[in-house]
A and B are shown apart, each in its own frame.
Chain A
């Protein structure tokens, strides 16, 4: 199968499915299943191509970069596409049962599928985009799909959260777009690889970089721009929360990486890199503390996302300005993949437990291991990855980041990484304590369809064992990484 077909499958399968789901609401579920199958197949083929033949560039319509649109797939893009396919697939399996139990009418349920498939399209397009304007378009599309999904529950709190999310998202996009305009005026191109050659330090570029970063930080919910995330993620239906926490916020982070390590890599000074790290550390601390004291389970999980996103930003100071940034780079990105799986599993298992006990407070979970042992187990297992216990993917990521921090002698990041793990352990354990508490008989308990328990469990098992694939992920990430060969012999 040629590259053109693969790219077409990745982008058009979810897009066509989304359009069909508008027209045929009842078929949404089956369209999503077909999409999951098609996209997964395409990702596997693309991974093989990239591993064999290096970075793949597809010129849409045959026009070269300044005029036409380039779709570019390197190791990083493939990893992100794979994560999106896995999460998308699991949500496709999980959502029908969940929606059937939580939304009253058939019409409401069917409204989930078009924006979900649109979100998938946007993500695939975002990961394959090679210029900063296309990235803007996909980012906007992603945000609109995400906002519609948050509003899906239709309750007052959900609508308020969706409005706030929409407002933040639009302002952030606007900032980013301003930056794009400045960059274009200064460099005369939007293509990332051309920018890497043409961009250089200067007042206009500094302003542009600051504007774009500001917008992306809000999109990626990095402290202190995280305030919109907990209400939005906590008030959405469980599968939507999972999508938002595991994929949508990562979109902003992905573009940030592409900017600072590719297009504008000349602008990344050590001070700027350390600043990202400081914000990341603050996010870890603030997110974890809030999770530790959150009264509601989904708020806890959402604040855990705020904290875990902080770890991703540690890769910037650890990878920048060194010939062997790849250790930290691969560590941060493996951490990202692990967080996506673990957080999805955690949100889904939280959804199961809340559904069963019919409340959303953490103390409602007392004794839930007796009712839903599988979901409690899933929660614990995904917690293991968030804490970073071996052999989880979270551990593999932290190990590499830790190694990079020690090698560079940046001890403050060592302390941050370890302290963050302890805090994560504290809030995960907090939930488990309630789950294990003995109660005479749980007050209420509604049955949970097995498919909801098993899909979440499967994903948490994947997250807990993801460390075993770290070697393969690193090989994939090496393709097209900003450190092409330096340090290759080390591994």
Chain B
């Protein structure tokens, strides 16, 4: 191990140790806990910046040691992992700030922030895993560390949500374990390599590889909330807003989507997967999920529920991009990994602000909220328009590339899916915006904004992430954008 191996390790430990220390803190050490949280998050950001710089300049970062006989526990950073680790680290920083403000005065904050840190450790571990067994390890750790966050409130509702979360994810984990063990039996230890490792076996193990692919998609699809494995997601909405934000934009759902990307591009290899004929069914499943999630979102009155079904739908854009062969759709899918995260976290921050400041939980209560909380509503609006795909926001870029990719590969029907989904996105977001900005507020709620519409720790994060949404879309073609990075990955996956 040289100095380069220490960076991925440091990225994990920066939140792992923070979490452990926070557990030990007294409930009342508010200032110390906040300081530790922010120091951990900042340190992680700095390390990720080093990583980003190094990968861009072609350096490699890896550390591994033998774990099981013949199986290594390996961390490494490639362009794919950097995409995800940067996203989760940046958003973790802002979510931490948000959570500090959100949970002010709430009980059991040490427990909350401890598991919060561990949850991020697991997520970055997923991003930095260099082989399948390490991925599995962090994938399961993510399940375990998220559970206490989901049931944090300890109410019957929260416990119910936690129960359904665990039922789905633990069963999914067992299926994933079977898939990993099965693939291990065929090809030996599986490292993540661009264009996959199964090429020599496509002809000889066709049937097995297909079945294993299905098992992988089931095992990981639970976290990615692919229909019909999505049942836990709307029920897990009982968790506090920062947890929902984390679950939907950074950690669980995103880890599922990232896992699917990993399996297709770095385990199977997109060409091999296409040769096995497994991509088509996956694209169909993703399309069904997109339409189903969007349709159900239209009918939800609960704001967080609506956002949850929107997540079900939006995350499948990533899967859809992976399910269509061709550089353009890959670009669209991968870049949506980042774009969806930025937009969805902004929406959840906004929803949390409405709930925390004004006690608004339902869309039907949102009349005139834009006059009382203009900045929050503005951020929310930017993200919602981005989700619909209004140019030049982030969502537009994703959809545009997906569409071009579908046309390029001759899958014209995907265009219909994208069009229908965008209409549905508009159908469930525009009424919210209409109510918020144009309808008069109900009597009794002041309509002039006070000097500070809410706590600054709650306000700053959505404003920042909304700015990122504009940046990712508006400056998409500049070298400093998620799109530019994704093009780098795609060039390596499809290049000569």
Q: Contact residues of A with B, CB < 8 Å?
A: 327, 330, 367, 369-370, 373, 377, 380, 384, 387, 389-391, 396, 399-400, 402-403, 406-407, 414, 418, 421-422, 425, 429, 432-433, 436-438, 467-468, 470-471, 474, 490-491
Contacts of B185 in A (CB 8 A): 403, 406-407
Known A389-B140, A391-B67, A391-B137: A399·B181 in contact at CB below 8 Å? yes
Central interface residue in B137, B141, B178, B181, by most chain A CB within 10 Å: B181
Is the CB–CB distance between A438 and B155 below 8 Å? yes
Contacts of B170 in A (CB 8 A): 387, 422, 425, 429
Is the CB–CB distance between A436 and B151 below 8 Å? yes
Is the CB–CB distance between A471 and B67 below 8 Å? yes
Known A436-B162, A471-B68: A390·B155 in contact at CB below 8 Å? no
Is the CB–CB distance between A491 and B70 below 8 Å? yes
- B residues 60-91 touching A (CB-CB < 8 Å): 66-71, 73
Is the CB–CB distance between A490 and B181 below 8 Å? no
Q: Give, as a whole number of angstroms, the nearest-CB distance from A65 to chain B.
A: 33
27 contacts between A and B (CB under 8 A): A327-B69, A367-B154, A373-B23, A373-B111, A377-B23, A380-B144, A389-B173, A390-B136, A390-B140, A391-B73, A396-B67, A396-B68, A399-B181, A400-B69, A402-B177, A407-B185, A418-B177, A425-B170, A432-B147, A433-B151, A436-B148, A436-B151, A438-B153, A468-B73, A470-B69, A471-B69, A491-B70
Complex formed: what's the CA distance from A402 to B143 in Å? 21
Partner of B159, one of A377, A384, A407, A437: A437
Please, which residue of chain B has its CB at the minimum distance from the CB of A422?
A: B174
Q: Give, as a whole number of angstroms, the nearest-CB distance from B173 to chain A.
A: 7
Complex formed: what's the CA distance from A118 to B136 in Å? 43
Is the CB–CB distance between A403 and B174 below 8 Å? no
Is the CB–CB distance between A369 and B69 below 8 Å? no
Complex formed: what's the CA distance from A390 to B137 in Å? 5
Please, which residue of chain B has its CB at the minimum distance from the CB of A436?
A: B151
Known A399-B181, A436-B148, A438-B153: A467·B68 in contact at CB below 8 Å? yes
Known A390-B137, A422-B171, A436-B162: A399·B144 in contact at CB below 8 Å? no
Contacts of B136 in A (CB 8 A): 390
Is the CB–CB distance between B174 and A400 below 8 Å? no
Partner of B181, one of A406, A421, A467: A406
Contacts of A491 in B (CB 8 A): 69-70
Partner of A414, one of B67, B173, B178, B184: B178
Known A389-B140, A421-B174, A422-B174: A437·B154 in contact at CB below 8 Å? yes
Contacts of A389 in B (CB 8 A): 140-141, 143-144, 173
Known A390-B133, A436-B154, A438-B153: A399·B159 in contact at CB below 8 Å? no
Q: Give, as a whole number of angstroms, the nearest-CB distance from B143 to chain A.
A: 8
Is the CB–CB distance between A433 and B173 below 8 Å? no
Complex formed: what's the CA distance from A370 to B184 in Å? 42
Complex formed: what's the CA distance from A425 to B133 in Å? 20
Known A400-B68, A418-B174: A384·B184 in contact at CB below 8 Å? no
Contacts of B162 in A (CB 8 A): 433, 436
Complex formed: what's the CA distance from A400 to B154 in Å? 37
Is the CB–CB distance between A436 and B159 below 8 Å? yes
Q: Give, as a whole number of angstroms, the nearest-CB distance from B59 to chain A.
A: 27
Q: Give, as a whole number of angstroms, the nearest-CB distance from B189 to chain A.
A: 11
Complex formed: what's the CA distance from A53 to B134 in Å? 34
Q: Give, as a whole number of angstroms, the nearest-CB distance from B280 to chain A.
A: 28
Is the CB–CB distance between A403 and B184 below 8 Å? yes
Complex formed: what's the CA distance from A416 to B174 in Å? 12
Instruction: Given A400-B68, A436-B162, output 12 extra A-B contacts at Cβ < 8 Å.
Output: A370-B108, A387-B170, A403-B184, A406-B182, A418-B174, A436-B148, A436-B154, A438-B154, A468-B67, A471-B66, A471-B67, A491-B69
Q: Give, as a whole number of angstroms, the nearest-CB distance from A465 to chain B.
A: 11
Contacts of B111 in A (CB 8 A): 369, 373
Please, which residue of chain B has its CB at the minimum distance from the CB of A384?
A: B144
Complex formed: what's the CA distance from A236 to B480 in Å? 65
Complex formed: what's the CA distance from A438 to B173 in Å? 28
Contacts of B181 in A (CB 8 A): 399, 402-403, 406
Q: Give, as a whole number of angstroms, the nearest-CB distance from A213 to chain B.
A: 29
List the 3 closest A-B pairs by CB distance, nearest first: A438-B154, A390-B137, A491-B69
Report if B163 contacts A (CB, 8 A). yes
Report if B166 contacts A (CB, 8 A). yes
Partner of A330, one of B23, B66, B69, B133: B69
Contacts of A432 in B (CB 8 A): 147
Complex formed: what's the CA distance from A433 to B162 in Å? 9
Complex formed: what's the CA distance from A439 to B310 in Å? 34
Complex formed: what's the CA distance from A403 to B70 in Å? 12
Q: Give, as a whole number of angstroms, the nearest-CB distance from A12 to chain B.
A: 35
- B residues 150-186 touching A (CB-CB < 8 Å): 151, 153-155, 159, 162-163, 166, 170-171, 173-174, 177-178, 181-182, 184-185
Please, which residue of chain A has its CB at the minimum distance from the CB of B111?
A: A373
Q: Give, as a whole number of angstroms, the nearest-CB distance from A173 to chain B.
A: 37
Q: Give, as a whole number of angstroms, the nearest-CB distance from A426 to chain B.
A: 8
Q: Give, as a whole number of angstroms, the nearest-CB distance from A111 to chain B.
A: 37
Known A422-B174, A425-B170: A433·B159 in contact at CB below 8 Å? yes
Q: Give, as a whole number of angstroms, the nearest-CB distance from B390 to chain A.
A: 42
